[in-house]
């Protein structure tokens, strides 16, 4: 029988824990120097992590702070992946931003290219 290793490659663990869709994406993030393991910057995807390590990395529009609880043997379902880590900084419930409708388009069908540019401009102003 094979024993479960006590450490695993960082890029592989991020992929197993379902933070990134592909292992290549996780390796790219680590290679770019965007991941910290126990407050130290890491730039090699082969850096070993194990239970107790704290990872800090950007994901989507925020920064995730995660404590590794287990290694995992495969990239399983989401419920299994959630058991591999503890979220130290859970994301706050943010209300969805509602983009105001532009009344000039009401009932006219599809917006024109000019109308679309106006919509995109309004959306970018509300996000800033």
Residue 1 predicted with pLDDT over 50: no
Residue 92 predicted with pLDDT over 80: no
Closest to 116 (Cα-Cα) out of 102, 98, 128, 96: 102
Q: Comparing 41-45, 59-63, 66-70, 98-102, which segment has the lowest mean pLDDT?
A: 98-102
Q: Comparing 2-11, 55-64, 93-102, which segment has the lowest mean pLDDT?
A: 93-102
C-alpha pair distances (Å), 21 with each of 24, 26, 52: 9, 8, 24
pTM over 0.85: no
């Amino acid at each position: 029988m094979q024993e479960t290793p006590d450490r695993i490659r960082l890029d592989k663990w991020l992929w197993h824990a379902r933070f990134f869709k592909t292992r290549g994406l996780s390796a790219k993030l680590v290679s770019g120097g965007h991941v910290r393991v126990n407050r130290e910057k890491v730039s090699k995807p082969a850096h070993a992590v194990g239970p107790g390590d704290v990872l800090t990395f950007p994901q989507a529009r925020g920064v995730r702070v995660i404590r590794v609880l287990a290694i995992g043997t495969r990239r399983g379902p989401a419920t299994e992946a959630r058991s591999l880590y503890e979220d130290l900084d859970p994301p706050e419930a943010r209300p969805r931003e509602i983009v105001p409708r532009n009344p000039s388009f009401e009932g006219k069908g599809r917006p024109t290219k000019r109308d679309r540019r106006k919509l995109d401009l309004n959306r970018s102003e509300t996000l800033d």
